Chain A
Amino acid sequence: MSQMIIANRLIDGLVVFLVSGGQWDTAIAQGALIEEDSEAQRLLEVAKQDQARCLVIDPILIQVRVENGQVRPTEIREVIRAFGPTIRTDLEDTGPAVVISREADRRADGAGHLRRSTKE
């Protein structure tokens, strides 16, 4: 299992992931996969400096897995942060509900996976 650093960006609150170059990106696919614990601690320190510089809030390490080439957090909470709400839009009488996710395709992936995984 790998790790990744997640935070909220100060200026707009959006969920961001620490990229290997030290920047932050809103797409989990861009986030740096961390394999070693020592590396994780080192990067967390880097992230905390960004917190002190008022770039991000509450950076933390999360566990992630790569499934079919897609990075997914292992915890439900972080999956929802990464992919957006899982509100159902597939019920026939739901109709064209409001667009909820940050990007519709992310929602389709994230939510679909999530529901299956909780029902299993």
Chain B
Amino acid sequence: MYRYDGFDAKFVAERAAQFRRQVTRRLAGELTEDQFRPLRLMNGLYLQLHAYMLRVNVPYGTLSSKQMRTFAHVARTYDKGFGHFTTRQNIQYNWIKLEQAPDIIKELANAEITSIQSSGNCVRNITSDQYAGCAKDELSDPRIYCELLRQYSFLHPEFSYLPRKFKIAVTGSPNDRAAVAVHDIGLRMHRNEQDEIGFEVLVGGGLGRTPYIGQTIRNWLAPEDLLSYVEAILRVYNMQGRRDNIHKARIKIIVNQMGIDKYRELVDKEWEFTKNGALKVPDDEIERIRAYFAPPAYERLQDLTAELAVARKADRAFDRWLRGNVIEHKVPGYAIVNVSLKAPGRVPGDITADKMDAVADIADKYSFGEIRVSHRQNLVLVDVKQSDLQQLWRELFALELATPNLGLLSDIICCPGLDYCALANARAIPIAQDISHAFSDLDELQRIGHFTINISGCMNACGHHHVGHIGILGVDKRGEEYFQLTLGGSSDQQASLGDRLGPGLPQAEVPGAIRKIVDTFLKRREHEERFIDTYRRVGIEPFKEAVYGSESQAA
């Protein structure tokens, strides 16, 4: 993975020192909260319901075992002993003290971790495919370009005060695991007719109050032009994006207001000037970064299909886990192992400091010391020898990190909601807990098959509710928490936004409604169809009727 050189290290050290001065001035009363707020936000420090919350970047979801131990150390020393992995592949701490924040940021900097631009109206942490570099279906490694963009975006002098936040995601595989279509800029790597690898560029996707699927602004972009083209998109947005209304300030609004063709025209006009300038990425820089992502020292191995089959036969639980959470690797004899943070009744994405340390040890032992974070709030060990799988499984099992539910109904995405978040309308976590508790029978989960439930505590949609097969949105109805359900959302290469099922439900009725939706699906399902396919075939009506009764037809 990428390692800081002298420049990167100096940059984060200077930035940490600058933040310390700012905090000192705030505590001494030289800065008002209004003046200080944007400064702390640019360093990922929010004020939430209970205390300050620190959001720390995991650039494109990749971290080393050493960095994971640093996360554990911060959780233990400065917080209540746990952290929360988010849908943006970041980690959040919930009880940070302002007076200690500079120390934390310095400790993180020593481990090559930052919280720079994890908040604010700037380019946020670049996200990507959690299997990057290892997936069998991958065309090219997206992390090289993520890293290029990470450096390019850090404290960009022109784009640190954009109209609103700006999120970029990159996928190097045709099977989109990074949800690029719901980002301000989505980059999809593919080959052009000359067989060269480049990017399809999507712009204007996003969730929140007004969700949009991104539109293609450019079919193919050469890697050397990546920065100049992104700069053109950002410059047009910085000058034309709305600043009069925070709810209309994201790029998706302006793109959809003026139309993608007009936006493209403005970007192309801008790009003419900058295309061949200082932003052209030299091949040697791409190669310099690529070298950091060179494959680890894989052994020459054979796939262990036969041996594993024997082990699976002997142990049903192992078999289930293998089928559920383990994915094919591009290198024979290796496998990608998903570590579920979704045990029934647990808080999705939460993990204790002790378990962080344990995962770090396991990564050292079995996966070249590297760990990934997925936007579905799980962890991944990407380079595990197939011959180690059974032993690894035993160790994860003992840690309650082996729930074999990847991509199944209880693998729920869930934002912190009103239990932590100052913007929330309703609590999201108890809903996730209730649902995963109600659907904890593994045979049943497997029968139901691939299913995503995404929960957000408010319109800001951090829990990606619009693109869950079932989306659950917390709303405030005269001081009571209600939940609005949407069906049919998806964030993969066939991204779609969910349709509203009907009036909001009180918390206690949500698990029952999910049960009815699942029962209806099982009745209507043909062959081994996934829920989303059945839904697309039969439409929303049968589900409406199941949840609200037949009078909903009349209404």
Chain A: residues with CB nearer than 8 A to chain B?
Answer: 8, 10-15, 51, 53-54, 57-58, 75-77, 80-81, 84-88, 91, 93-95, 97-100, 102, 115, 118-119
A83, closest chain B residue (CB): B50
Determine if B420 is an interface residue (Cβ-Cβ < 8 Å). yes
How far is A51 from B172 in the complex, measured between Cα atoms in Å?
A: 50
How far is A10 from B88 in the complex, measured between Cα atoms in Å?
A: 28
A84, closest chain B residue (CB): B50
Cross-chain contact B97 with A13 (CB below 8 angstroms): yes
CB-CB under 8 A from A86, the residues of chain B are 419, 427, 430
Stretch in B230-238, B288-296, B340-348 with 4+ CB within 8 Å of A:
B340-348
Cross-chain contact B437 with A80 (CB below 8 angstroms): no
How far is A81 from B26 in the complex, measured between Cα atoms in Å?
A: 24
Cross-chain contact A87 with B98 (CB below 8 angstroms): no
How far is A75 from B480 in the complex, measured between Cα atoms in Å?
A: 9
How far is A72 from B98 in the complex, measured between Cα atoms in Å?
A: 27
Determine if B156 is an interface residue (Cβ-Cβ < 8 Å). no
Choose among B96, B400, B433, B479 the residue that contacts A76 (Cβ–Cβ < 8 A): B479
B507 CB to closest chain A CB (Å) equals 6
Determine if B47 is an interface residue (Cβ-Cβ < 8 Å). yes
Q: Can you list 11 contacts pairing A with B, beta carbon distance less than 8 Å?
A: A11-B98, A12-B97, A13-B50, A14-B50, A14-B51, A85-B419, A86-B419, A87-B430, A88-B345, A98-B80, A100-B80
Cross-chain contact B344 with A93 (CB below 8 angstroms): yes
B217 CB to closest chain A CB (Å) equals 40
Cross-chain contact B479 with A81 (CB below 8 angstroms): no
CB-CB under 8 A from A10, the residues of chain B are 26-27, 98
Cross-chain contact A99 with B27 (CB below 8 angstroms): no
A92 CB to closest chain B CB (Å) equals 8
How far is A77 from B426 in the complex, measured between Cα atoms in Å?
A: 8
Cross-chain contact A88 with B419 (CB below 8 angstroms): no
A8 with B427, Cβ < 8 A, contacts A85-B420, A88-B345, A98-B352 known = no
Determine if B272 is an interface residue (Cβ-Cβ < 8 Å). no
A88 with B98, Cβ < 8 A, contacts A15-B49, A118-B480, A118-B506 known = no
Choose among A81, A93, A119 the residue that contacts B345 (Cβ–Cβ < 8 A): A93
Cross-chain contact B345 with A75 (CB below 8 angstroms): no
A13 with B508, Cβ < 8 A, contacts A87-B419, A98-B80, A98-B352 known = no
CB-CB under 8 A from B520, the residues of chain A are none
CB-CB under 8 A from A53, the residues of chain B are 29
Determine if B493 is an interface residue (Cβ-Cβ < 8 Å). no
CB-CB under 8 A from B424, the residues of chain A are 77
How far is A98 from B347 in the complex, measured between Cα atoms in Å?
A: 10
B78 CB to closest chain A CB (Å) equals 11
CB-CB under 8 A from A100, the residues of chain B are 80
Determine if B99 is an interface residue (Cβ-Cβ < 8 Å). yes
B47 CB to closest chain A CB (Å) equals 6
B76 CB to closest chain A CB (Å) equals 12
How far is A76 from B27 in the complex, measured between Cα atoms in Å?
A: 31
Query: Main SS of the interface on chain A?
Result: loop
Determine if B499 is an interface residue (Cβ-Cβ < 8 Å). no
A77 with B49, Cβ < 8 A, contacts A12-B99, A88-B345 known = yes
Determine if B81 is an interface residue (Cβ-Cβ < 8 Å). yes
CB-CB under 8 A from A75, the residues of chain B are 479
Cross-chain contact A13 with B98 (CB below 8 angstroms): yes
Determine if B268 is an interface residue (Cβ-Cβ < 8 Å). no
Cross-chain contact A87 with B347 (CB below 8 angstroms): yes
Cross-chain contact A91 with B345 (CB below 8 angstroms): yes
Determine if B440 is an interface residue (Cβ-Cβ < 8 Å). yes
Cross-chain contact A93 with B481 (CB below 8 angstroms): no
Choose among A54, A84, A95 the residue that contacts B29 (Cβ–Cβ < 8 A): A54
Cross-chain contact A94 with B80 (CB below 8 angstroms): no
Determine if B33 is an interface residue (Cβ-Cβ < 8 Å). yes
Determine if B368 is an interface residue (Cβ-Cβ < 8 Å). no
Cross-chain contact A118 with B507 (CB below 8 angstroms): yes
Q: Which of B33, B352, B424, B440 has the most CB of A within 10 A?
A: B33
How far is A11 from B96 in the complex, measured between Cα atoms in Å?
A: 10
Cross-chain contact B50 with A118 (CB below 8 angstroms): no
Q: Which residues of B291-349 have CB atoms within 8 Å of chain A's CB atoms?
A: 343-347
Determine if B154 is an interface residue (Cβ-Cβ < 8 Å). no
How far is A107 from B346 in the complex, measured between Cα atoms in Å?
A: 17
Cross-chain contact B49 with A80 (CB below 8 angstroms): yes
How far is A51 from B427 in the complex, measured between Cα atoms in Å?
A: 29
CB-CB under 8 A from B345, the residues of chain A are 88, 91, 93-95
Contacts A57-B33, A75-B479, A84-B50 known; 16 new A-B pairs at CB < 8 A: A8-B47, A11-B27, A14-B51, A15-B50, A51-B33, A76-B427, A81-B49, A85-B429, A86-B430, A87-B433, A93-B343, A94-B345, A97-B347, A98-B350, A115-B430, A119-B507
CB-CB under 8 A from B429, the residues of chain A are 85, 87
B351, closest chain A residue (CB): A98
CB-CB under 8 A from B207, the residues of chain A are none
How far is A57 from B40 in the complex, measured between Cα atoms in Å?
A: 14
Q: Which of A8, A13, A102 has the most CB of B within 10 A?
A: A13
B466 CB to closest chain A CB (Å) equals 24
Cross-chain contact B433 with A94 (CB below 8 angstroms): yes
CB-CB under 8 A from A119, the residues of chain B are 507-508
A117 CB to closest chain B CB (Å) equals 10
CB-CB under 8 A from A51, the residues of chain B are 33
Cross-chain contact B99 with A11 (CB below 8 angstroms): yes
Cross-chain contact B81 with A99 (CB below 8 angstroms): yes
A119, closest chain B residue (CB): B508
Cross-chain contact A88 with B97 (CB below 8 angstroms): no
Cross-chain contact B97 with A54 (CB below 8 angstroms): no
Cβ-closest 3 pairs across A and B: A13-B51, A85-B419, A12-B97
B420-434 interface mask toward A, CB cutoff 8 Å, 1 = contact, 0 = none? 100010010110011
CB-CB under 8 A from B50, the residues of chain A are 13-15, 81, 84-85, 102
CB-CB under 8 A from B430, the residues of chain A are 86-88, 115
Cross-chain contact B346 with A97 (CB below 8 angstroms): yes
